[in-house]
């Protein structure tokens, strides 16, 4: 791909994660991504990002973004209620789209998006991109190489401190969508399903353990709200490939439950499902040893590189190949959250209907490394 032909992308939704995560990391891959402009229903938020970049347009409306023939793709960083309508509008306008997770509130909506993208031959991708981390890819390669023998079990969690204590719009997250499992557990679920493919059935307990909350930060601090979606989920996972798993998720407090642990007959790997550069541990199956093993030299510094998913998406547009962080995998993860709720209601394990083709492992030279590789040659 030509280093002079980056994909022109507009960020829609210029809040916390656009500012602190995506914008700086998209700007880190100028050979693939050109941040063409910004739109937010709160214009000041879009203007702030434009000021940081020192370039790009600030649009007055989503219609103006979608009518701009220069715009090739949108990056949907709105909150959950905006994911489906904004992505659908973009696809209908002929723009490629990459969304923050969850891809939509329901798996039926995700089906609609996938059909629309396919019909129009557009690329559709969805966060999280944590499976693309150097450490997450490295562990996957070592599992495939047999380093822990035959994998049989995977444990994961996303247990975050109470959302209202650190997010100014916590009420939006806890009153929209399916549950904490749709918004927060995509991190461990995404890496688990990247390694082991789709889940055939789940058995879950979805509850609300902190039923009354009050925003502690931001301009609306002091506002009380009542979550309307489960804030706490414990789920058992039965993968189609035969692997069994367990997930712990909550916006109710920190936990030491493994964030991601893959157990095999010869040992186990422990790796962060979200951040890169946090280290890889190898747990012996035959002794009591737990060792830190070397991480790939390039591991990102103790954080998620939000730009990698977009860099891969842009590369997929230019090469007309599959997007690694696929809409199909994102739909499967929404369905898992829905089935946890169903299982809670029925008290029974529930089968999943969606399937997806796991991503291609990232090769020796990743799209985001291409400029450096070209410079070395």
Footprint of ligand NAD on this chain (CB under 6 A)?
Answer: 12-18, 40-42, 45, 77-80, 82, 86, 100, 169, 183
- The 10 Å Cβ neighbour count of residue 85 is 14
User: How is residue 122 written in tokens?
Assistant: 């557009």
Minimum distance of ligand NAD from residue 358's CB (angstroms): 22
41/284 with CB nearer ligand NAD? 41
1/172 with CB nearer ligand NAD? 172
Sheet holding 290-293, edge to edge: 290-293, 280-284, 267-271, 260-264, 151-159, 244-250, 232-239, 199-207, 350-351
Minimum distance of ligand NAD from residue 318's CB (angstroms): 25
Q: What is the DSSP string of 83-123?
A: HHHHHHHHHHTT-EEEEPSSS-SSHHHHHHHHHHHHHTT--
Q: Is the alpha carbon torsion for 275, 281, 282, 288 positive or negative?
A: negative
Minimum distance of ligand NAD from residue 316's CB (angstroms): 21
Burial of 355 (0-12, 13-18, 19+ CB in 10 A): middle
Minimum distance of ligand NAD from residue 169's CB (angstroms): 4
Minimum distance of ligand NAD from residue 173's CB (angstroms): 7
- Please report which residue ranges of the chain form alpha helices under DSSP H: 16-17, 23-27, 43-53, 62-67, 80-92, 107-119, 134-144, 170-174, 180-183, 186-196, 307-319, 327-346, 370-376
Minimum distance of ligand NAD from residue 75's CB (angstroms): 11
Which of 315, 302, 321, 341 lies closest to 73, judged by CA?
A: 315
CA distance 139 to 296: 10
CA 98 to chain centre: 11
User: How is residue 185 written in tokens?
Assistant: 């557990």
User: Which residue's beta carbon is nearest to the bound ligand NAD?
Assistant: 15
Minimum distance of ligand NAD from residue 15's CB (angstroms): 2
Minimum distance of ligand NAD from residue 136's CB (angstroms): 16
CA distance 58 to 328: 31
Question: Could you tell me what percentage of the chain is helix, strand and coil, using 3-state DSSP and rounding each to the nearest 5?
Answer: 35, 25, 40
CA distance 322 to 329: 12
Minimum distance of ligand NAD from residue 359's CB (angstroms): 19
153/214 with CB nearer ligand NAD? 214
Minimum distance of ligand NAD from residue 28's CB (angstroms): 18
Ramachandran quadrant class, 13 (left: phi over 0; alpha: psi -120 to 50; beta: rest): left
48/147 with CB nearer ligand NAD? 48
CA distance 176 to 306: 23
Pair 50, 56: CB distance under 8 Å: yes
The three-state secondary structure class of 343 is helix
42/108 with CB nearer ligand NAD? 42
């Amino acid at each position: 791909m030509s280093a002079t032909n980056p994909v022109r992308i507009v960020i829609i939704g210029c809040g916390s994660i656009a500012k602190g995560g995506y914008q700086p990391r998209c700007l880190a891959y100028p050979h693939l991504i050109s941040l063409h402009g910004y739109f937010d229903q709160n214009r000041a938020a879009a203007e702030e990002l434009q000021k940081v970049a020192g370039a790009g347009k600030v649009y007055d409306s989503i219609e103006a973004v979608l009518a701009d023939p220069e715009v090739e793709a949108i990056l949907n960083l709105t909150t959950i209620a905006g994911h489906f309508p904004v992505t659908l509008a973009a696809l209908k306008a002929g723009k490629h789209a990459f969304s923050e997770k969850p891809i939509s509130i329901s798996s039926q909506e995700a089906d609609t998006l996938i059909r629309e993208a396919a019909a129009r031959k557009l690329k559709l991708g969805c966060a999280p991109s944590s499976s693309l981390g150097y450490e997450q890819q490295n562990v996957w390669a070592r599992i495939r190489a047999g380093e822990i023998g035959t994998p049989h079990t995977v444990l994961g969690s996303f247990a975050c401190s109470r959302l209202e204590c650190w997010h100014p719009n916590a009420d939006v997250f806890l009153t929209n969508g399916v549950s904490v499992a749709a918004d927060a557990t995509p991190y461990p679920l995404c890496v688990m399903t990247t390694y082991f493919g789709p889940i055939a059935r789940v058995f879950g307990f979805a509850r609300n353990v902190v039923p009354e909350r009050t925003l502690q930060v931001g301009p609306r601090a002091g506002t009380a709200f009542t979550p309307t979606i489960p804030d706490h989920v414990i789920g058992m996972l039965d993968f189609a490939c035969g692997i069994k798993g367990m997930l712990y998720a909550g916006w109710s407090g920190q936990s030491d439950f493994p964030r991601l642990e893959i157990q095999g007959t010869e040992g186990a790997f422990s790796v962060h499902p979200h951040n890169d550069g946090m280290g890889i541990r190898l747990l012996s199956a035959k002794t009591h040893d737990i060792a830190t093993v070397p991480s790939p030299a390039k591991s990102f510094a103790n954080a998620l590189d939000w730009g990698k998913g977009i860099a891969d998406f842009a590369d997929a547009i230019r090469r007309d190949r599959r997007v690694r962080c696929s809409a199909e995998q994102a739909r499967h993860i929404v369905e898992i959250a829905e089935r946890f709720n169903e299982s809670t209601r029925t008290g029974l394990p529930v089968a999943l209907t969606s399937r997806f083709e796991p991503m291609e492992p990232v090769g020796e030279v990743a799209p985001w490394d291409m400029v450096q590789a070209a410079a070395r040659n």
